[in-house]
Amino acid sequence: MPEKIAETAEGSVVTTAAASDAVQVAEAGPAPEKARSLWSDAWHDLRRNPLFLISSVLILLLVVMAAVPTVFTEASPRDGDLVNHYLQQPNWGHFFAADWFGYDIQGRSIYARVIHGARASITVGVTVTILVTIIGGTLGMLAGYYGGLIDSILSRVTDIFFGIPFLLGAMVILTSFEKREVWVVILALAFLGWTQIARVARGAVITVKQADYVVAARALGASTSRIMIKHILPNALAPVIVVATIALGGYIGAEATLSFLGIGLAEPTVSWGIDVSDGFQQIRNAPYVLIIPSIMVSITVLSFLMFGDAVRNALDPKLR
């Protein structure tokens, strides 16, 4: 049967079938947008959050500083010149030069030590965060999923470690080592720092395992490992990431505190905490020796705390 022809006001010719389809599309309105997942929705919010953008730029700068310090300075952080550079004042006009921040009591460039000191602090903070996330997340998942006796045992072990003061326990552990290198500080902080993430992971898993899709997967005969990896872990990961990102700044501050007390990193390692400890002795004569590395510690910790707050606001539905 041939299609009927209709002529429009402008004189163009269309079929009645095409005109009918156009009317139906117009009445239906625009096509609905595809639903975003939690992660895509969080990324959509983070890209528009000034707090996230500023902290990300600072963290990226610190990571580059730690990975490739020679990009910022060619001066040595260990070589000193007591004859020419003993407590030499900062030269604020020489940007990115060796004498920009002045020299310490051993004639070493403070600017060079600030740049090279980022490696130890960032390495300790990131590595400890990864270890405590793996340890605490695994124990929390096992306790929350199985429940019963396993949950009771793991929860009591967590309570025992949670009752140990973090810095005091780290001091006791580190004093038993003669050489306190970076890996020793990392293991000491990770040994005591996993408890909070374990509690958060346990609570998240207990909530997620009661969801309908987990019950359906179990009814269909899915193995325990598949349920935990494919269904529970992706949906319980958000609160763990939030706690880990906020705690990262705390681990950097803990490393600086231990090094300041003379219990953490030691020479010849270049660390902001060591420089703060050395500068404390010259607070009257040359306060810049203390203030500049202290400012770097504060900026680094603040950057990670801002980053963690932004991620928390994006991933927590209650806050959004």
Averaged pLDDT for residues 175-180: 85
More confident residue, 317 or 140: 140
**Domain residues of the chain, as ranges?**
1-32, 38-315
Q: What is the pLDDT of residue 1?
A: 44
Predicted pLDDT at 188:
93
> 75-95 burial string, b = 16+ CB within 10 Å, else e?
bebeebeeeebebbebeeeee
Overall CATH class of domain 38-315: mainly alpha
118 CB-near residues (< 8 Å, 6+ apart): 62, 65, 66, 69, 272, 296, 300
To the nearest whole number, what is the mean pLDDT of the chain? 84
Long-range contacts: 178-185, Cβ < 8 Å, 24+?
Answer: 179/266, 180/263, 180/264, 180/265, 180/266, 181/265, 181/269, 182/120, 182/123, 182/124, 182/265, 182/269, 185/124, 185/255, 185/258, 185/264, 185/265
- Residue in 272, 299, 276 with CA at minimum distance from that of residue 116: 272
Please state whether beta strands 5-7 and 13-15 pair in parallel, antiparallel, or not at all (unpaired): antiparallel
Query: What is the pLDDT, as a whole number, of residue 25?
Result: 42
Q: Span 1-9, mean pLDDT?
A: 44
Bridge partners of 178, per DSSP, are none
Average pLDDT over residues 140-154: 92
pLDDT for the residue numbered 189: 94
- Average pLDDT (206-227) is 87
pLDDT tens-digit map of 263-312: 888 888 899 999 998 888 888 888 999 999 999 999 999 999 999 888 88
> Which residues, other chains included, contact 116 with Cβ-Cβ below 8 Å and sequence gap of 6+?
69, 77, 270
92 to 61, 87, 100, 211: CA distances (angstroms): 21, 15, 5, 60
Residue 155: what pLDDT?
92
DSSP string, 4-21: PEEE-TTS-EEEHHHHHH
Res 75 pLDDT > 80: yes
Judge whether residue 191 has pLDDT over 90: yes
* Helices 50-67, 288-315: crossing angle, 10 deg rounding: 130
CA–CA distance, 15 with 10 (Å, rounded to integer): 15
Backbone phi, then psi, for 147, in 5-degree steps?
A: 65, -160
pLDDT of residue 282: 83
User: Highest mean pLDDT range out of 31-35, 64-68, 237-241?
Assistant: 64-68
Share of the chain above pLDDT 70, in %: 86
Query: Which candidate, 90, 189, 95, 191, places its Cα nearest to that of 135?
Result: 191
What digits encode the pLDDT tens for the residues 156-174? 999 999 999 999 999 999 9
Q: How wide is the angle at C-alpha 186 spanned by C-alphas 103 and 193, nearest 5°? A: 120
Are 273 and 288 in contact, with CB atoms under 8 Å apart? no
